[in-house]
Amino acid sequence: MSILATYIHNIKPSATLALANKAKELKDKGVDVLNLSVGEPDFDTFENIKEAAINAIRAGKTKYTPVGGITELKDAIIDVYKDRFVCTRENIIVSTGAKQAIYNALLATVNEGDEVIIPSPYWVSYPDMVKIARGRPVIVDCDARTNFKIIPDLLEAAITSRTKWLFLNSPNNPTGMKYSEVELRELVEVLKKYPNLYILSDDIYEMLSYEDKPYSLVDFAEPLRGRILVINGVSKSYSMTGWRIGYAIGPTEIIKAMSVIQSQSTSNPCSISQYAALEALNGTQQYLLDSIKIFRKKRDIAYNLLSDIGGIECRKSEGAFYLFPECSSFFGKKTPEGGVIENSNDFCGYLLQEARVAVVPGSAFGAEGYFRFSYAVSEEILTKASHRIKEAVEKLK
C-alpha cells in the first residue's frame, strides 16, 4: 500500500519551474543556454525596497507577525485601491506569494466536485491547485479567434449548478493579452445572472500594462462586489519574486477562512519581506514607471524579431512580459537528426537541443500549438535567442 495520497498522482510539477531547472542544469554544465522560460523580471529589486528590508532587520522586525499580515501593509494596500473600491483590513490577507493566496482561497471554499472555470491559455498552476482542493477544473478553450480571452457565450456555456469559481487573469500569463473595459462589462452581464458563482481576479501583472491603463473586473462590477476575490502582489511589478509577498482582497467570510488555512500551514509571511513590500507600495514609483518603459521596448524588439521568422505567427502582447507565438506550422517536420516535431513539447525540446534556447510549450498552459517566450531578459539575449530560433527552424524539413 502506497504512503502517497491518491490525488497526488494527478498533480503535475510546474512546467515552467521544471524547464527553468533544466536550463540551469545545462548552464551549470557549461552549456550556453539562453533561458526565456522564467516568469520574473531580469533586473534587481529596487534600491529603496532593499534598504527598507535592511532597516527592518536592524530595527528588530524579525519576529512573528499577525497571520494575515502587518497592519501597516494592509493599510498600504487599502490606499492603493482607494480610488477603485472601499475595503477594510478585514477584507485583506497577506500571504507567502500570490500563489499561496490562490491556493488558500481554493482550500477554504471548494468542496469535492465543485467546478472552477479556467479560460485557456492559463497559468500552469491553476488546474492542479483546483485538483488539490478536490475540485474539478473546467477548461474553456479561448483561441486566437477570441484573442485568447473568454467571451460571454463561452462563459455561459461552461456554467453549471456545480460552478463555484471563474478565474480571470489580466494581463494574462502566458499570452500577455488583457481584457478591455467593454469585454469586462460584457462578462459582468453574464455573471450577474449566477449569484452562487464567485470570481477570482488574478491581477498580479496589472501594473505591467502597455499603451493604455489596465482594467480589472472590480472596476466595473459593483453588483458583484461581494463575490470577487482580487489577487495581487509585489513579485512582478517590483521585481520581488524571491521575497514571496502576495495578497488577496475579498469578502470577509472568505478572507477569515483563508486566514484559518494559513494559520495552520505557513503562518505569517516573512516579516522582513512584509516591510519591504510596504516600501514598494508606499515609496517612489519611478522605478516601476521606468521598468514599464523598458519592458515595452523589449516587447517591441522581441515581437519584431519573432515576426520575422518564417512559420511563426505572433501577436503583440499588451502587458506582462510574455509573447505567445504559434508554432503549429512546424508540426510534422523532421529535425536534422530525423526526429519528427509532433507537438509544442517536441518543438520546445528541439529548440533547447538545437538552438540552446529554453522556452515553454503551449501545452503547459492548455494551448497546444504555441510556446511562451519571456522577454524579461536583456536586449542582447533577445536578439541572440531570436536568431538562434530562426536558424533552428530553417533546418526543419
pLDDT for 1 equals 76
pLDDT band of residue 177 (cuts 50, 70, 90) is very high
Cα–Cα distance measured from residue 367 to residue 69, given in angstroms and rounded to the nearest whole number: 36
Say what the pTM is. Answer: 0.95
The number of angstroms, rounded, from the C-alpha of 304 to the middle of its chain's C-alpha atoms is 24
Kindly tell me if the per-residue pLDDT of 17 is higher than 90. no
Kindly tell me if the per-residue pLDDT of 372 is higher than 90. yes
pLDDT for 12 equals 80
Range with lowest mean pLDDT among 9-18, 37-46, 100-109: 9-18
pLDDT band of residue 249 (cuts 50, 70, 90) is very high
Kindly tell me if the per-residue pLDDT of 212 is higher than 90. no
Kindly tell me if the per-residue pLDDT of 64 is higher than 90. yes
Helix axes 379-393, 286-307, angle to 10 degrees: 20
Q: What average pLDDT does the segment 2-24 reach?
A: 80
Q: Find, among 240, 233, 213, the residue nearest to 97 by Cα.
A: 233
CB 275 within 8 A of CB 61: yes
| Domain 47-282 listed as CATH 3.30.70.580 | no
pLDDT tens digits, 286-343: 999 999 999 999 999 999 999 999 999 999 999 999 999 999 999 999 999 999 999 9
pLDDT band of residue 9 (cuts 50, 70, 90) is confident
CB 63 within 8 A of CB 258: no
The residue extents of the domains of the chain are: 6-44+287-393, 47-282
pLDDT for 51 equals 98
Q: What average pLDDT does the segment 20-26 reach?
A: 80
pLDDT for 368 equals 97
Q: What average pLDDT does the segment 45-69 reach?
A: 98
31 or 138, greater pLDDT: 138
Cα–Cα distance measured from residue 16 to residue 22, given in angstroms and rounded to the nearest whole number: 10
Cα–Cα distance measured from residue 309 to residue 281, given in angstroms and rounded to the nearest whole number: 40
* CATH number for the segment(s) 6-44+287-393: 3.90.1150.10
